[in-house]
Amino acid sequence: MAKIPKINGDYLIGSDGKDYLSGGDYNDYLTGNAGKDTLIGGAGNDYLRGGDGKDYLSGGFGNDYLRGDAGKDTLIGGSGNDCLFGDAGNDCLNGGSGNDTLIGGDGKDTLNGGSGNDYLNGGSGNDYLNGGSGNDYLNGGSGNDYLSGGSGSDTLIGGTGNDTLIGGQGLILICHSSKDTLEGEESIYGPRDILTGGTGADTFVLGKNGDITEIDYIGKDNPGDTTITDFNRAEGDKVQLGGSINGYTVNYSNLSGTSALDTALYYKGDLIAVFQDDTSFSLKLDTIFQAELDTLA
C-alpha cells in the first residue's frame, strides 16, 4: 500500500481554471484546485490531488498517492504500489501494475485493480469492482454493488445492499444483511471457493451460471468443490443448479468445518459442493434448476 510520499521534487499548484501539471523524475506534489485539471506524476513517488472538478490524474512510475476530491475523476496508478482515493463523485480508478489500494468514496464508482494483489473498497454508492489478476480483496461497501474477482485467490465482501459477486478461481465470497447473488463461476476448474451469504435470502449459483454443460467437466482429473458455510432455508436461501434433479445426489459425512456432519452434493458421482456443518439441505426443497428457469423464460 502506497503512503503519502516525502516530497523532494516539484510543488505545482493549479488555479481555479483548466490546468495541466506535470511532474519530473523526483517525488512531486501536484494539486489542481478547482477546474478540469490534468495531473501527470511521471517518475518518482508522487502526491496528486485533483481538487474540485472533473480531473484526470496519472501517477506514472513509482509508489504514488492520488486523490480525486469532488467531481467525476479518472485516477490511474500506473506502475508501483499506488493508493487511489476517488472521494466524492462518480469516479473511475485504475490501479495498473503493483499491489494497489483503491477506495471509491461517495458516488457510483468503477474500480479496476489491474495486476498485483490489490485492495478495493467501493465506499458508498452503487459501485463496480474488478480485481483483475492477483490475489485481491474486494469490499463493495454500502449500495448495490457488482464485484468480480478475476483470476487469483480473491476475497469478495458485498457489504450492505443487494450485491452481485462473481467468482474467479479460488474465491472467498461473503455478503452481509441483504438479498445477494453469489456465483462460484470458476470454482469447478480446481480451486475451492467459499461462499458465505450472511443474513437474508441468498442464491448460491454452482457452475457457470448454473449451466449443466458447464458443470459436467468436474471430475477426478481436475478436482474442486464449493463450500457453503451458512446455508439457511428459514432465511430463503436457494441453490441454483444446472439441468434437472436427475444426476444429483447427496450424502452426509464430516468434510469441512467442525466435527459436525456436512451435506456433500454430487453430480454424476463428482463432488461439487459441501454444506458445512449442515444436514438440512434438500434437493427437492432448496434448489432452483436451470431447466426450470429455461421453461419459465
Q: Tell me, what's the pLDDT at 167? A: 60
Q: Tell me, what's the pLDDT at 197? A: 72
Which grid coordinates are listed for 187?
470454482
Cα distance between residue 140 and residue 128, in whole Å: 8
Cα distance between residue 146 and residue 127, in whole Å: 6
pLDDT above 70: residue 278: yes
Cα distance between residue 206 and residue 281, in whole Å: 15
Q: Tell me, what's the pLDDT at 150? A: 81
pLDDT above 80: residue 292: no
246-277 tens-digit pLDDT: 889 999 999 888 899 999 999 888 888 899 99
- Tell me if 225 sits within 8 A of 192, measured CB to CB: yes
Would you say the C-alpha torsion 130, 135, 140, 144 has a positive or negative sign?
positive
Q: Tell me, what's the pLDDT at 152? A: 76
Cα distance between residue 291 and residue 50, in whole Å: 52
- Tell me if 56 sits within 8 A of 84, measured CB to CB: no
Give the chain's radius of gyration (CA, Å).
22
- Tell me if 109 sits within 8 A of 126, measured CB to CB: no
- Tell me if 85 sits within 8 A of 3, measured CB to CB: no
Q: Which of 191, 1, 156, 162 is nearest to 84 (CA)?
A: 1
Q: Tell me, what's the pLDDT at 289? A: 86
Helix, coil or strand: residue 84: strand
For the chain, give the percent of residues with pLDDT over 90. Answer: 51
pLDDT above 50: residue 191: no
Mean pLDDT of all residues in 229-254 = 89
